Structure formats: structure tokens, C-alpha cells
Structure 1
Amino acid sequence: MTYGTKLRERIAAPDTTPLIGVYDMYSASIVARHYDGLFVSGFGFAASFYGLPDIGFIAWPDMMAFVQRLRGAFPGHHLLVDIDDGYVDPEVACHVVEGLERAGASGVILEDQRRPRRCGHADGKQVLPLAEYLEKLEMVLATRTDLVVVARTDATEEDDILRRAEALAATDADVVLVDGVRDVEWIRRVRGVVGDKPLLFNQIAGGKSPRLSLPELTELGVDVAIYSTPCLFAAHRAIDDALTGLRSADGRLPEVDPGTGGIGVAASTRLLEDNIARLRSARGRAGV
């Protein structure tokens, strides 16, 4: 069974499928202990790989190389990849989709933003003419073999949101995402116009959308939930706290107490050794 088919079947389950945003191999290693679905967040990757905001700096070879490393370490996990606008050009978008499918991605998200692009929860977003985006989307859909394709709109005008959501649902895209949905009522309205097409909801701390539990999302008819930045923001807070403590202790490291969840060399090494064991197990099942 291919990765796309596995994710498609998981999305078809009655409950909402959570996919957790990762920004590097270490964060993915931690997420893999808790969830079976990873989301390669453009926000997180731009921040971790370039140290830059999510406004269009990502180069597709960097993203493809990251996905290759992820799939090698996590052969059994769902892996959804944010490819922004397909890196501007439709032919490039198709090339990236082909490469990501070969690398073992489960699915991609393709947005309708116009450059200069923005994070989906930022102000100042502009969208392509719908016909232009649909042409690019159709090219991507014709290129993929089994990859799950999420069609995303970043429209902000009310009439345009519903018009685009309905148009995306009428394509062969597997899932529809309206990013930056501001309240529960708008989730219901989008759900109403996309019909039976699976719906994805993006949650980001401090973003424009409401904070909702998985049962609440299931009740609203949401099939997939991506959590773009919990790992990135948690690392930001934890690193800042650790270095503040180190400075206040005049450079003396704290004691590591495994009984209280302290992380030291042993715990970190065990985490990374899990990746080796997981890969060996997958090779054994494949007869390699």
C-alpha cells in the first residue's frame, strides 16, 4: 500500500486525523513517539532552516531533501508537506510533486496565494485569480500518482472564500483547506459548500482561527487537523527558559533527574536510537 493511499484511508476514518507540525529531524523524532502523522510546516521549516519568516524564502530542493530524511527515519508515519504555492511556477510545482512522491511523502498542500506570500494567519495575503490557480492545481493533480493533494485557499473576502472553497471541492483534489478561518460558524459555512469533500483545519497558536479540540472538530465535520507550530513554539520557550536559568546560575548546568522528566545525554541518545531501530524494523519487513 502506498503512502498516499494510507493517508487517504486514515482521513476517511470517522474521527479527525491530527498531523503535527515538525521543523527538523529532532522535533520529528519527539512527535513520532506521540502521533502517527507528521506535517512539514512551511512556517517551521522557514524558521529552522533559514532563520526567516514564512514569506516565500523556501527553496524546493531544501524542502525535498528534508522530506527524504524524514521518510528515511519515519517509514511508517503519515507525512503531509506544505509546498506553499508550488514555488511559483506550475512546471516547478509538478516537478516538486513528482520528487516528493518518489521520496515517500503522503501528501502535499498547494495554496492559491500570489507572491509575495504570507503565513496563512498573517495579514496582507493576496490570492491568484481563481482560474490561474485551478490551472496549476489541475496540472499537479495530473502529475501525482497516488499522493494526497490538499487544495488550499487563502481568500479573505467572505464571498470569495465560499466561491473558491466550492470550486476547489469540485476538482479531484482529495481535501480542501480554507486557511485563517476566524470562527466556528465559518467552519460550518465552508463545510456546507464543500459537500462530501474532506475538510482540513489549520491550528496555529496565536493565529486567527479558534482553538478547538479534536472531538469539537469532528463534530463540525472536519476530517484533518494540522497543528503547524506547537513544537517550534515550545522549543522557543524551553530554550529561552533554559538559557535564562543558565545565566542566572553563572553557567552551572542544572542536575538531570530522569525521574522528573529531565533530559540529558542518555535520554537524547535513546530518542535518536529509536530512529535507527524503526528504520531497521522497516527494512526487515521489506526484506531488505
Structure 2
Amino acid sequence: MTYGSRLRAQITAPGTTPLIGVYDMYSASIAAEHYDGMFVSGFGFAASYYGLPDIGFIAWPDMLAFVQRLRGAFPRHHLLVDIDDGYVDPEVACHMVQSLERAGASGVILEDQKRPRRCGHADGKLVLPLEEYLEKLELVLATRKDLLVVARTDATEEDDILRRAQALAATDADVVLVDGVRSVEWIQRVREVVAGKPLLFNQIAGGKSPRLSLTELADLGVDVAIYSTPCLFAAHRAVDTALAELHLADGRLPAAEADAIGVKESTELLARNITRHHPVPTAREGAGV
């Protein structure tokens, strides 16, 4: 199976598929220990690669190179990639989709924002005219071979949210995302409007959407959940705490504890990114026959 068809099959299976937002190779290495699917978060990548907020600074060659490195280290994980608005022009969006599919991405999310863009849970978002977005989306859908495509709207007005969600569900996009959904009631309303089309829900700490478990999301008819920033925000807190403690200790490293991360643990984690490429032994090979 191709990467796109594998993710498509996973999403259409019962339950809600979780995809964990990663922002660099190290966070992805840790996420791979716990989940079989990753979300290549634009928020996290902008923060990690540029040290800038997620308001449109990402250049498509940088994102493509990151995905190539991810696929090289994680040959069996799902990789859903945030490509924002397709980097403005439909031609660039199509080129990026072709390039990502060749690089081994499982799917992409294409939004209907116009520049200057914002994080999906921020105020001040502006959206393209629906017909203009649909034209770009249709070109992307015609370009992809088997890549999974998530159609995303960032509309904020209630009538426009439902109008756009219904229009996105009527396309050949595989999944629909309404970002920044503010309540369970609105998840239910969007679910009704998109009918049988798979639905994606985006959770981000401090964002506008309610915090819901995978069981709760499955009960609401949500097929896939992306967690944009758990790695990034956890790293922020952990690094800040560690450096504050180091400063208070006059630069003396803390005594090693039983569950501490040191050179050995870090090296073992990263070494697994090499061994994942080794062929899985058959039962006959495993028995040493």
C-alpha cells in the first residue's frame, strides 16, 4: 500500500486516529516511541526552524526538506503535513503536493486562508472567496496520485462555517477540517453538514477548541485528531525549567536520577532511527534457521 492509502484506511477504520504534532527530528523520534502517526505542524516548524510565529514565514523548500528527513528516519509512520494555503499560488501548491508525495508524505492539509495568514486558533483570520479556494483545491486534487488531502476552512462566521464545510465535503477531498471549532455543539453541527465525509479535529493547548479525549471524539463522529503542539509546549516548559534550575545551582548539573535522560538514553533513542530501516525478520529468520 502507498503512504496515502495506508493513512486513508486508518482514518476510515472505527475510532479516532491520533496524529501527534512534531516540530523537529528529535521530537519526532520521541513521538515515534508512542504513536504510529505524526502531524508535521506548521506552528511547530515555524517556531523551531525560524524562531518565528506561525503567520506565513514558512518557505515550501524548507518544509519539503523536513518531510524528506522525517520519512528517511520513520519509514512506517503516517506523516500528515500542514502546507498552509499551499504557499499562496495554485501552481506552487500543486508542485509542493507532487514533491511531498514523491518524498513519502501520507497526506496534506490545505487551508482557505488568505495572507496575512494566522494560526488556526488565533483571532484576525481572513479567508479567500470560496470559489477561489475551491479552484485551488480542485487543482491539488487533480495533481495528487494517492496522497490524502484534507480540505480545511478557517471561516469564523457561523453561516460561512457551515456553507464552506458543506462545499468542502462535496469535493473529492478525503477529509474535512473546520479549524478553531469552539464547542461540542459545533462539532456536532459540522458533523451533520459534512455527512459521510471523514472529519478532522485540531487540538492545541490554549486554543479555542474544547479538550476532548479520543473516546469522546469518536462518539462525536470525528475520524482523526491532530495534536499540533504537545511536543513543542512540553519542550518549552522542560527546557525553561532545566535552565532556571541550572542557573540557581551556579552551573552545577543536577545529580543523575533513575529516570533521568542522559547521553546513553538519548543515543539509544536516535539509534532507533537507523535500525527502523533494517528489514523486519521473518519467523524463519528470527529462529536462526
| TM-score (normalised: structure 2) | 0.96
| Whole-Å separation in 2 of the counterparts to 1:283 and 1:223 | 33
Residues in 2 aligned to 1:264 and 1:281: alpha-carbon distance in whole angstroms: 29
Seen in structure 2, the aligned counterparts of structure 1 residues 148 and 283 have a Cα distance that, compared at 3 Å, is farther
Question: Does the residue aligned with 1:180 lie in a helix, a strand or coil?
Answer: coil
Match of 1:148 in 2: 148
Report the counterpart of residue 177 of structure 1 in structure 2. Answer: 177
Give me the whole-angstrom Cα distance separating, in 1, the residues matched to 2:58 and 2:99.
Answer: 16
User: 2:230, 2:255 → 1: CA distance?
Assistant: 26
Question: Secondary structure at 2:35's aligned position in 1?
Answer: coil
Cα 1:220–1:272, aligned 2, differ >3 Å: closer, same or farther? same
Q: In structure 1, the residue corresponding to 2:177 is in which secondary structure?
A: strand
Q: Is the 8 A contact 1:188 1:220 kept in 2?
A: yes
Q: Which residue of 1 aligns with 2:5?
A: 5
CA distance in 1, matches of 2:90, 2:280: 35
**Distance (Å, rounded) in 1 between the aligned partners of 2:57 and 2:251:** 36
Name the SS of the counterpart of 1:114 in structure 2: coil
Which ranges of structure 1 fall in alignment gaps of 5 or more residues?
none
Per-residue CA deviation, residues 227-273 of structure 1 (Å, 9 max, x unaligned), is 0000000000000000000001000001222x3x2000000000001
Give the equivalent residue in structure 1 for 2:26.
26
Is 1:275 aligned to residue 273 of structure 2?
A: yes
Deviations 1:6-38 (A, max 9, x none): 000000111100000000000000000000000
Identity %: 81
Distance 1:282 1:101, change over 3 A: farther
Q: 1:247 to 1:218 in 2, by over 3 A?
A: same
2:249 matches 1:266: no
Match in the other structure for 1:191: 191
Residue 279 of structure 1 aligns to a residue whose secondary structure is coil
1:195-243 deviations in Å (ceiling 9; x for gaps): 0000000000000000000000000000000000000000000000000
How far did residue 283 of structure 1 move? 11
TM-score normalized with structure 1 length: 0.97
Q: Which whole-Å CA distance do the structure 2 matches of 1:25 and 1:255 have between them?
A: 27
Q: Deviations over 1:41-92 (max 9, x none)?
A: 0000000000000000000000000000000000000000000000000000
Cα distance in 2, alignment partners of residues 283 and 277 from structure 1 = 12
The answer to whether structure 1 residue 95 and structure 2 residue 95 are counterparts is: yes
**Corresponding residue for residue 49 of structure 1:** 49
* Amino acid paired to 2:185: E
Once the two structures are superposed, residues 92-151 of structure 1 have per-residue CA deviations (whole angstroms, 9 ceiling, x without a partner) of: 000000000000000000000010000000000000000000000000000000000000
Is the 1:75–1:282 Cα contact (8 Å) retained in structure 2? no
Q: Where in structure 2 are the equivalents of 1:115-134 lying within 5 Å?
A: 115-134=115-134
Q: Partner residue of 1:85?
A: 85
- Residue 72 of structure 1: aligned partner: 72
d(CA) in 1 for partners of 2:67, 2:14: 28
In 2, Cα distance between the equivalents of 1:236 and 1:146? 36
Contact 1:181 1:208 (8 Å CA) reproduced: yes
**Which one is further off, 275-284 or 31-40?**
275-284
Large movers: runs of 4+ above 3 Å = 281-284
RMSD: 1.1
Q: 2: distance between equivalents of 1:127 and 1:214? A: 29
| Unaligned stretches of 5+ residues in structure 2 | 283-289
